[in-house]
Amino acid sequence: MTTRDMTFVALFAALTAACAVFPPVQVPVVPAPIIVQNIGVMLAGSILGARRGGLSLALFVVLVAVGMPILTGWRGGIGVILGPTGGFILSWIPAAFVVGWMVERFWKRLGFWTLLLSNVVGGIVVVYAIGIPWLAFVANADLGKTVVGSAVFIPGDVIKAIVASFAALIVKRSYPLIQR
């Protein structure tokens, strides 16, 4: 890994941490709040690619685990990761990887719609596929009810995927970090 790669990995971990300044919006149905921070996952994967995007979120999760208060609401520590929302946090690593992997596969014909598809599959589907079962297990809740309750997050996550797709498309055109 080059110094340039390490810089980008650290930069996108920091970008994800910086998104913690936006306050969480608590939803009464589920214990997980609506946050802006998961846009960092989509941006890391769609701008850096699979390997560097996944590593940037792995760095972020390690920093959270050792206690840095870089999650929305200025939380951090292993207790947060082992709590009800921990599955969502841990899912950010494979989510960024999947977004990046899809972007790399579509690179030659990458446009807004392929970026949006990549961000929805990786940044929403993967996150929900890991986070919702974790939430149901840790909270000792019915999985079906947890899935239904989590539907409230879909519109906001789609908006974040749209924003991340536009941003990644601009970066691709002006300063492409993925070379295919």
Q: Domain residues of the chain, as ranges?
A: 3-20+33-174
Is residue 158 within 8 Å of 128, Cβ to Cβ? no
% of residues, the chain, pLDDT over 70: 97
Task: Kindly state the tokens that stand for 71.
Answer: 């999650």
pLDDT higher than threshold 70 for residue 180: no
% of residues, the chain, pLDDT over 90: 83
* Residue carrying the six token digits 């149905």: 29
Least confident of 38-42, 72-76, 91-95: 72-76
* Residue carrying the six token digits 């392929």: 114
Work out the burial of residue 123: count CB atoms within 10 Å of its CB; fewer than 13 is exposed, 13-18 middle, 19 or more buried: buried
- How far, rounded to the nearest angstrom, does the alpha carbon of residue 95 sit from its chain's CA centroid? 6
Residues 45, 8, 120, CA angle at the centre, nearest 5°? 10
25 pLDDT tier (thresholds 50, 70, 90): confident
What does DSSP assign to residue 66? Answer: T
Task: Return the pLDDT at 17.
Answer: 97
Task: Return the pLDDT at 31.
Answer: 66
Task: Return the pLDDT at 24.
Answer: 85
* Mean pLDDT of all residues in 156-168: 96
30 pLDDT tier (thresholds 50, 70, 90): low
* Mean pLDDT of all residues in 8-16: 97
What does DSSP assign to residue 126? Answer: I
3-20+33-174, CATH topology level: Arp2/3 complex 21 kDa subunit ARPC3 (1.10.1760)
**3-state class of 89 per DSSP?**
helix
Residues 175, 168, 72, CA angle at the centre, nearest 5°? 120
Least confident of 11-15, 24-28, 63-67, 111-115: 24-28
Task: Return the pLDDT at 75.
Answer: 93
* Mean pLDDT of all residues in 19-30: 83
